[in-house]
Amino acid sequence: MSKPELSKLGYVALVTPDLEKSLWFFKEVIGLEETKISNGVHYLRAFGDFGHHTLSLEKGDSGYVKHVGWRTKRSEDVAAFKEALLHEGVEVESIPAGTTNGVGEAIRFKLASGHSFELY
């Protein structure tokens, strides 16, 4: 099997203390379109993006990047990345398809810096 590859940056999941102001900014100023609202999460897409969303926003006590989603080149790359990360001692969480709207089977892990990434 070849080495697993990333295809592109898929989306960024943000938490914000002021959801209404953030939605206004990303929709009215930046020009993203809202594709779905589910369980308090607002999914927005940039013009020309073929994915379900480019950004997700949800309300929280403070603002932070919840995780960054990376699309893999092939579906089997998700399992290959999981195997490689586990081999390096990285804790990996399996995310069932559909847990994140518009995203298939995925894995989530944290870097030493504390940043969370999702590969799908």
pLDDT tens, residue by residue, 13-60: 999 999 999 999 999 999 999 999 999 999 999 998 888 999 999 999
pLDDT digits (tens, 9 = 90+) for 61-85: 999 999 999 999 999 999 999 999 9
Query: According to the model, what pLDDT value does residue 50 have?
Result: 87
Query: According to the model, what pLDDT value does residue 98 have?
Result: 86
Query: According to the model, what pLDDT value does residue 101 have?
Result: 86
Q: What angle do CA 7, 48, 59 make, to 5 degrees?
A: 80
- Taken in order of first residue, the domains within the chain and their CATH numbers are 6-119 (3.10.180.10)
pLDDT of 117 strictly over 80? yes
Query: According to the model, what pLDDT value does residue 1 have?
Result: 62
pTM as predicted: 0.88
Query: According to the model, what pLDDT value does residue 102 have?
Result: 87
Name the burial class of residue 22, with classes exposed (0-12), middle (13-18) and buried (19+) by CB atoms within 10 angstroms of its CB. buried
Spatial neighbors of 88 by CB under 8 A, at least 6 apart, are: none
Query: According to the model, what pLDDT value does residue 16 have?
Result: 98
Query: According to the model, what pLDDT value does residue 36 have?
Result: 96
